[in-house]
Amino acid sequence: MTPDAARELWVVRLGRMAYAEALELQRAVARARISGAVPQDVLLLVEHDPVVTMGRTAKQQNLTTSPELLAARGVELFEVERGGDVTYHGPGQLVGYPIVDLKRHRQDLHWYLRQVEEALIVAIGARGIAGERSEGYTGVWTRGLVDAASHPPRKVASIGVHARDWVTWHGFALNVTTELSYFGLIVPCGIAGVDMTSMSRELGAPVEMRDVERDVAAAFGRVFSLEPRDVSADALQLDAPAPA
């Protein structure tokens, strides 16, 4: 479908931001989207300092490193309201928080998760990496380059979302140039034996975060039939009240 110019995707590039600050920002944007103060869907793009987050279905045994040892390595720990288990965010990883009003699309969270996966598959495909789904799991895997699959599936992107009044927040983490050793601190997404990878590992070359941000924004626009438009965080003019 051709995106309707009246239906935009406001893309906010936040650069490097502490997890706690980004968490409060996305919650504020979600409140404003629910109230109508923000009239368009929003995609926040950010990199975080090292942090482990545990979703509402996380199992404690999947955090294989004590909070004390995490702190000693400079890794923060948060328990949050998103779905899914435990995951890691850090430098070189593109984290995206789509704040999407599903009432304008389709009121179906399973459909939404598949759309997010599709957008990421399209985005990494633009860099020559073949993305795929894994039955029974949420996220994006790859066997290697487009038309040159060469290894068993490795996980390149994780997804965990939350929704209220059919407005989503939380989102995805796409490993671009991520230091993958940090995933050894956890059982990523609660999947024993999963092999985590990054775009740079698959390509065997550095990848520019700015290029991936552009590819991801374009892919989300295409998949959700929206016109991406860069806006600043200040332009959102957040003043929605806190939820009850």
- Give the other-Cβ count within 10 Å of 2's Cβ: 7
- Give the other-Cβ count within 10 Å of 116's Cβ: 26
CB 139 within 8 A of CB 161: no
Q: What is the DSSP letter of 191?
A: -
Which of 224, 237, 236, 240 has its CA nearest to residue 8?
Answer: 224
Q: Is 189 a catalytic residue?
A: yes
What the block records as the tokens of 130 is 């073949």
Which of 136, 199, 211, 203 has its CA nearest to residue 173?
Answer: 199
CB 23 within 8 A of CB 81: no
Exactly one of 23, 58, 100, 189 is catalytic; which is it? 189
d(CA 85, CA 189): 5
CB 154 within 8 A of CB 175: no
d(CA 200, CA 215): 15
Residues catalogued as catalytic: 189
